[in-house]
Chain A
Amino acid sequence: MLIRTQDLWKIYEMGREKVNALREVSLEIEKGEYAAIMGPSGSGKSTLMNLIGCLDTPTKGDYYLNDKLVSQMNDDELARIRNKEIGFVFQTFNLLARATAAHNVELPLVYNGTESEVRKRKAREALKMVDLEDRATHKPNELSGGERQRVALARALVNNPALILADEPTGNLDTKTGHEIMNIFKKLHRQGNTLIIVTHEHDIATYADRIIYIRDGAIEKEERKKN
């Protein structure tokens, strides 16, 4: 089991009021799965994504990633887990504007102390996987939206993470480009990667084998594609 959460709670205190962003979420995702987390805005899907992505810790409950209890870890341990186990893809790409595509892709390797030569080679390979080797020296503002998201994908892949976590990856792209990106995800899944996509668009969610619906901070229902 790659991901196992047990009765996850996330409670925010807004002044005197307590907001239950997540309530008793128990979820299991296996290695090699392709799952989508769907829900309207304010449903708690972003909170869940932050927890799964180890960007945040739950108020209550346990979260095991690769059989490691990450819900009790401190900031630096979480940073290490994010670096090693998780590749992020964001709606707004989140590339460093001043750095070239290649340098952006290298960044996760910088933080685990990979040597410069190895970083360059791995970054080249990752860019090749998303068909962007010829754009390696371009900066983000010289790339189209679709190309930027592919750079972000290459960055997510470069460290060979256990999990690729995409938050609305097509949200800033036109429909056609969005589907191109989703096709790359499909390809990555076929190569054995574990993918979780957070979205509010149903036709994007249907690319996944499994759709988890979130509403009001709790899992509402689940659908699995029949093969």
Chain B
Amino acid sequence: MHFLEGIIIALRSLVANKLRSVLTLVGVIIGVMTVIAVVSIISGMNRYVEAEISSLGSTTFLIRKFGLITSDEQWHEQVKRKNFTLDDMQAVEENCPDCWKVGAEAFAWRKVKYKNKHLSRMTIIGATANITEIANHEVYEGRTFSDFEVEHNRRVCFVGWDIKENLFADEDPMGKDIKIGNHHFRIIGVAAKKGAFLGDNQDDFVLVPITTYEKLFSRHFFLMIFVKAKDFMSMQDAMDQCRVILRARRGVDYNKPDDFAILTSESVMDFFRQFTQLALLVMGGIASISLVVGGIVIMNIMLVSVTERTREIGIRKALGARKRNILWQFLVESVTLALVGGMAGIIAGALIAKLISVASPLPASVELWSVIVALLVSSSVGIFFGIFPAMKAARLNPIEALRYE
């Protein structure tokens, strides 16, 4: 019998038992939906984070006292480490031949006031002038501060969009003085609007020269040193040189591990991927449970279908259907069932992903590979759980099947 004929016969009987077909598919739909929705969200997030992190560039690394912390113990151990200072940065700049650019950044939270308006808990970032080559600060108007201003502890600042929007509703912020904590700063530039990432507002910052920052807000001076290597090839050398310089300055014994961390965009991305892989694993567990349940339901309904249609099988066999014709018919039917469920699941999953990306800050994008995997998995479920009922049907004795009431 032709391939198409089998599918048509199967689809006909699926359409004839509409309600039953739908009920049967719930398990497969939920399984596939989970896969599609979770994969979409995770890969959407991965892409976004990757784009964010890779804006750091593949030749840039970051040195700070905290590593990527995953436990309380790590935090308690690392919080005791010595803070980096501007002198450390200076030492790196002077002694690391493969470091092309060296900068630093530190931050704290303060209230920002202008006239009678204020914003509490704004992120005050102290930075070197070359920070703009590392972090993405698009200029909306004005400029960022210069090396000269950093060297001379100038009280100038480059503000995020929130400051302009909330404190300068109908005024030009350029050249105005704002109060950060108890200190006055002059606005020399405004950053373009960045929006939020994973629910985190990125426009609530004030960028000030790091020297000024150290003097005024340095109670917990948590300094991060940025290094840009000359090129990708010299990245490892630059990191090694920094390690030697800093270990010496911090007096770390030769047999002790570093008491600071060097992070690259790659290592940050790896860290992030660990989380998403865990999420994928959990999702895989949920999905496979519902797919197995869905498969058992399909097997059950196919067994019912075989029993119900015993007589039909008898008729078909009497008219010349061979074992494999009957096997094929029921197998195509169970695979078609599972595939229809899979497709419904893909649509439902994509809708959920879309809904989440619209209603929450989480980005989502439906991945082609997850759609292909979903279709493969659901047809395998159809084959695996359909083979037993189909074999049962194929083995029926035509005489007994014809006599079946």
Where the two chains meet, the residues of A that have a C-beta atom closer than 8 Å to any C-beta of B are 50, 53, 55-56, 75-76, 79-80, 82-84, 88, 90, 94-96, 98, 107-108, 110-113, 155
With contacts A50-B399, A113-B2 known, is A82 near B319, CB below 8 A?
A: yes
Report the minimal beta-carbon distance from B332 to chain A, rounded to whole angstroms: 14
Considering only residues 306-337 of chain B, those with a C-beta below 8 Å from chain A are: 311-312, 314-325
Tell me the bound Cα distance from A60 to B95 in angstroms: 102
Whether A98 contacts B320 by the Cβ 8 Å rule is: no
Whether A76 contacts B16 by the Cβ 8 Å rule is: no
Grouping DSSP codes into helix (H, G, I), strand (E, B) and loop, the B interface class, with mixed when no group exceeds half, is helix
Report the minimal beta-carbon distance from A30 to chain B, rounded to whole angstroms: 24
Whether B16 contacts A98 by the Cβ 8 Å rule is: yes
Chain B interface extent, by class? 20 to 34
Residues of B within 8 A of A94 (CB): 311, 314-315, 318, 402
B44 on the A face (CB < 8 A): no
Q: List 20 A-B contacts (CB under 8 A).
A: A53-B318, A55-B318, A55-B399, A76-B324, A79-B320, A79-B323, A80-B320, A80-B322, A82-B318, A82-B320, A83-B320, A94-B311, A94-B315, A95-B315, A98-B12, A98-B13, A108-B320, A111-B1, A111-B319, A111-B322
Whether A107 contacts B319 by the Cβ 8 Å rule is: yes
5 further interface pairs, Cβ-Cβ under 8 Å (given A79-B317, A98-B13): A50-B399, A84-B320, A90-B402, A94-B315, A111-B325
B2, B312, B399: the one within 8 Å of A56 (CB): B399
Nearest opposing residue in chain A for B321, CB measure: A111
Residues of A within 8 A of B16 (CB): 98
Q: How many inter-chain residue pairs (CB < 8 Å) link A and B?
A: 58
Nearest 10 A-B pairs (CB), nearest first? A83-B320, A111-B320, A79-B322, A108-B319, A76-B322, A94-B315, A82-B320, A55-B398, A111-B321, A55-B399
B5 on the A face (CB < 8 A): yes
Residues of B within 8 A of A113 (CB): 1-2
With contacts A94-B402, A111-B1 known, is A79 near B321, CB below 8 A?
A: yes
Nearest opposing residue in chain A for B325, CB measure: A111
Residues of B within 8 A of A88 (CB): 318-319
Residues of A within 8 A of B323 (CB): 75-76, 79
Residues of A within 8 A of B321 (CB): 79, 111
Whether A83 contacts B399 by the Cβ 8 Å rule is: no
B312, B315, B320, B398: the one within 8 Å of A112 (CB): B320
Tell me the bound Cα distance from A50 to B315 in angstroms: 13
Residues of B within 8 A of A53 (CB): 318
Q: Which one of A53, A98, A110 has the greatest number of beta carbons of chain B within 10 Å?
A: A110
Report the minimal beta-carbon distance from A135 to chain B, rounded to whole angstroms: 19
Report the minimal beta-carbon distance from A77 to chain B, rounded to whole angstroms: 9
Report the minimal beta-carbon distance from B10 to chain A, rounded to whole angstroms: 12
B312, B398, B399: the one within 8 Å of A96 (CB): B312
Q: Which one of A50, A75, A112, A113 has the greatest number of beta carbons of chain B within 10 Å?
A: A75
With contacts A110-B1, A111-B320, A111-B321 known, is A96 near B315, CB below 8 A?
A: yes
Nearest opposing residue in chain A for B401, CB measure: A55
Residues of A within 8 A of B399 (CB): 50, 55-56
Nearest opposing residue in chain A for B4, CB measure: A116
Residues of A within 8 A of B1 (CB): 110-111, 113
Nearest opposing residue in chain A for B395, CB measure: A75
Report the minimal beta-carbon distance from B238 to chain A, rounded to whole angstroms: 72
Q: Which one of B16, B311, B314, B319 has the greatest number of beta carbons of chain A within 10 Å?
A: B319
Residues of B within 8 A of A55 (CB): 318, 398-399, 402
Nearest opposing residue in chain A for B319, CB measure: A108
Whether B5 contacts A110 by the Cβ 8 Å rule is: yes
Nearest opposing residue in chain B for A99, CB measure: B12
Residues of B within 8 A of A75 (CB): 322-323
Tell me the bound Cα distance from A76 to B327 in angstroms: 13
